[in-house]
Amino acid sequence: MTDDIGVFDRRSTSNPIISGHLYNLLIGLTLSWGFLVNWWMVANISPYTIASVNPWVFFIGYFASCFTGVMLFGMSDKPWVSFIGYNLVVVPFGFIINLVVSQYDPSLVMQAIQVTAMVTGIMMVLGTLFPAFFQGIARTLSIALLVVIVVELVMIFFFKQDPEIIDWIVVLIFCGYIGVDWGRANMIPKTVDNAIDSAAALYMDIINLFLRILRIMGRRN
């Protein structure tokens, strides 16, 4: 979900090209690092500590960190800079994840993780098999996500409602984004930096998918 930061527009590079297997391994390792950091944050940082922070301070810090991180990994061709940018996205996401999962039973959270992992794997396979299809729906997904965000905000703030159908629509959108971004990741030059940048894009897709799946499962319980 990084249409406007240029990661997937790259067609040439001065960085060394690596093998496809190593490239995909680095994407997997980078994703695993982000998930491990989030797991550590959930296990060791009290959600009450996070909730005690002034909301304005929290959200300004959250968006500033995410924006800086996206800019770093989106504009840099140096792996270490991109990795710093990736972590500037992972950490604030970790705070949000911490606040959300604290509201649910751990067994339900684990089920949501398992479902997210299976869906992610399926979408990556589909993104590999049908890259042209997913590239064709990329713009539609961007428009759909923007519309859903606006509709959801209107429903919450003006009608005091939060329909489950919106969660399902968001799940479908981020399923599409995983297929899109995985296909794009394999169309750009296979370098260490591009592997980290692609993992960062996929990380945001997967975390958003997980949070919505957890929310749907939580409603059912």
Domain ranges of the chain: 7-220
Contact 176, 66 (CB under 8 A): no
The 3-state DSSP class for residue 129 equals helix
| Count of CA atoms in the C-beta half-sphere (13 A) of 65 | 18
Q: Please return the burial class of 1, using the count of CB atoms within 10 Å of its CB with bins 0-12, 13-18 and 19+.
A: buried
Q: How many beta carbons lie within 10 A of that of residue 205, not counting itself?
A: 23
Q: Is the pTM of this model over 0.85?
A: yes
Note the pLDDT of residue 3: 45
Note the pLDDT of residue 13: 87
Note the pLDDT of residue 199: 97
Q: How many beta carbons lie within 10 A of that of residue 6, not counting itself?
A: 11
pLDDT 10s per residue in the chain (221 long)?
544 457 888 888 889 999 999 999 999 999 999 999 999 999 999 999 999 999 999 999 999 999 999 999 989 899 999 999 999 999 999 999 999 999 999 999 999 999 999 999 999 999 999 999 999 999 999 999 999 999 999 999 998 888 999 999 999 999 999 999 999 999 999 999 999 999 999 999 999 999 999 999 999 87
Note the pLDDT of residue 11: 81
Contacts of 64 (CB under 8 A, 6+ apart): none
Q: Please return the burial class of 93, using the count of CB atoms within 10 Å of its CB with bins 0-12, 13-18 and 19+.
A: buried
* Residue 103 to residues 63, 174, 220, Cα–Cα distance (Å): 23, 23, 14
> Among the residues of the chain, which ranges form H helices?
20-44, 47-51, 55-75, 79-101, 106-129, 131-136, 138-158, 164-185, 192-220
Note the pLDDT of residue 4: 43
Q: 184-201 b/e with 16+ CB inside 10 Å = b?
A: bbbebbbbbbbbbbbbbb
